[in-house]
Structure 1
Amino acid sequence: MTQVDQAEVKPRLGRKRDHTRDPEILDAALDVLSESGYDGMTIDMVATRAKAGKATVYRRWSSKAELVLDAVACMKQGEIDLDDLPDTGTLRGDLVAMIRTPSIRDGERKLKVMAGIVSMIARSPELAAAAQEALVEPRARANRIFFRRAIDRGEIPADVDVEKLCIIGPALVSYNVLMLGRPVDRDLLVENIDKVILPAAGIRAEP
C-alpha cells in the first residue's frame, strides 16, 4: 500500500466535544424541569433557555432522560460542608443557625425539581437514587449530626428515631410549597422547629 493509500484509510478524529457550556445547559434543564415537569419538558425548551443550539445539547446528551439524570446529579455540587456546621450547644440553636436566605431559595428550587421528576422516578431507579443523593441526603446528613449531638449532650432521649426526625422538617416544607403554594420564609421554618420538630424530639416548647 502506498503512502497515499495509507493516508486515505487513516481514520479521521472527530471534533472534540466542548463541555464548557455544560453547567449552563444543566442549570437551564433544572429550571425547565421545575417549571414544566419531566413529561412537559423538551430538549428544545432547554436549548432555548440555555441559548444553545439543539444539536449542541444532543451532542452531549442523547436523550432527555440522560440530561435530566445529569442535571439532578449536579445539584449535589455545593452541598452542605459537614466540617463547617454550626455548633451552638443546643439542638434548637443548631437547627435555627442553618436557616439562611440562600439555603431557603435553594431548598424551594430542589422541591420544585423533585416535583418535576415524580412521574419519572417510579420508572427509573437510577434517577430515584440520584434524586435521593442530591436533593434529600445533603440536609439529612447535617440533621443527623445535630440530633446525635443532642443525644450525646443528654438533651434528647437516646432512643429517638433520628431518621424520622430528619424527615419532619422537609415534609412540612414540601407540603407548604407543593400543595399550598406558599413561599417558605424564616418565620415558617422557625415555627416548624419550635412547634413540631423539637416536641417530636422530646423537647418541650418554652412557655
Structure 2
Amino acid sequence: MTQTDATPDASAKPKLGRRRDHSRDPEILEAALDVLAETGYEGMTIDMVAARAKAGKATLYRRWASKPDLVIDAVACMKATDIDYASPPDTGTLRGDLLAMVRTPSIKDSERKLKVMAGIASMIARAPELGEAARAALVEPRAGANRIVFRRAIERGEIPADTDVETLSMLGPALATYRVLMLQQPMTREFMVETIDRIILPAVGLAPPEASAD
C-alpha cells in the first residue's frame, strides 16, 4: 500500500512552538514587587505591572496564568541585600554583630519588604503557599541571621545559655514591622540602634553603652 499525502509520516518531528523568552522575568518580578508595595494585592493589576516593566500584558500572561501566580513568584524571588544572612558578620560581640547588619541598603530593603508583606496580607489567608513564600523571603533571612549571632554569643559565654533565641530573633523585626506598618514611620538606623541598645541587649542581661557614636 502506497503512502498518500494524507497519511501522516511517522518519522516526521512535530513542529515546536515559539520558545518562551524568560530573560525579562527578573525585571517583571521587580516591577510586580514595586506595584505590590505601592497598591497592595487588591489594588494591583497585571496592566500596572506590564506598564511598570514596559512589557506587553500578553507576555506576562504567557508566563503567569494569574495574578496570584505572579505575586507568589515575585515574593519568592525577592533580591537579597548586601548582607549574607547565612553568614552574618562576626565582630566578636553580640552588639557588634547586630550593628554590623544595620546598613543603609539593608534598612531600605527591610522597609520595602515590610510594605510588600502588608500588600499581600489580605491574600495570605486564601493562599497558604503565598504565606510560605512570604515567610521564606521576607521573615526568615533576618530571623535566621539573628539566631546565628545570638547562638554565637551563647558559645562565647557572653549571654546565658538559656537565652530565648527564638523570641529574641523575632523581636527586632516585630518592632520594625509595627513602626513601619502601624505608625507609618520610616525605618532608620537610629531606630534600629536604639532597639539594639535599649531593648535587645538588656533582654539578654547586657548593659547598653553609656554613649554611642554608632
Q: TM-score w.r.t. structure 2 length?
A: 0.90
For the 8 Å contact 1:85–1:142, the answer to whether it is kept is: yes
Q: Which runs of 5+ in 2 are unaligned?
A: none
Q: For 1:1-207, what aligned pairs fall within 5 Å after superposition? A: 1-2=3-4, 5-6=7-8, 11-75=14-78, 80-82=83-85, 84-207=87-210
Letter of the 1:178 partner, please give it. Answer: L
Contact 2:117 2:134 in 1 (8 A): yes
- Say if 1:22 and 1:35 are closer, same or farther in 2 by CA, change over 3 A: same
* In structure 1, C-alpha distance between the alignment counterparts of 2:35 and 2:79, rounded to whole Å: 18
Which sections of structure 1, spanning at least 5 residues, go unmatched? none
Residue 50 of structure 2 contacts residue 56 of structure 2 at CA under 8 Å; is this kept in 1? Answer: yes
Structure 1 residue 200 displacement after superposition: 1.5
Q: Measure how far apart 1:206 and its partner are.
A: 3.8
Q: CA deviation at 1:155?
A: 1.2
Distance 1:26 1:140, change over 3 A: same
Q: Is the 8 A contact 1:76 1:138 kept in 2?
A: no
Q: Which structure's residues are more often helix, by fraction?
A: 1
The alpha-carbon deviation at position 79 of structure 1 amounts to 7.8
Distance 2:21 2:209 in 1: 58
| Structure whose CA Rg is larger | 2
Note the alpha carbon deviations across 1:40-71, whole angstroms, 9 max, x for none: 11111110111111000000000000000000
The runs of at least 4 consecutive aligned structure 1 residues that moved more than 4 Å come to 76-80
Identity across the alignment (%): 69
Q: For each residue in 1:175-197, what CA deviation from the matched residue of structure 2 results, as whole angstroms up to 9, or x when unmatched?
A: 11111111111111100000111
1:13 and 1:3 mapped to 2: Cα distance? Answer: 22
Q: Helix, strand or coil: the match of 1:6?
A: coil
CA root-mean-square deviation: 2.0
How many residue pairs match? The answer is 207
Distance 1:202 1:2 in 2: 89
Q: Which amino acid is 1:118 matched to? A: A
User: What's the CA shift for 1:205?
Assistant: 2.6
Is contact 1:80–1:138 with CA below 8 Å preserved after alignment? no
CA distance in 2, matches of 1:178, 1:129: 20
* Cα contact 1:76–1:133 (8 A) shared by 2: no
Q: Give distance in 2, aligned partners of 1:202 and 1:29.
A: 43
Q: Aligned letter for 1:47? A: A
CA contact (8 A) 2:72 2:133 kept: yes
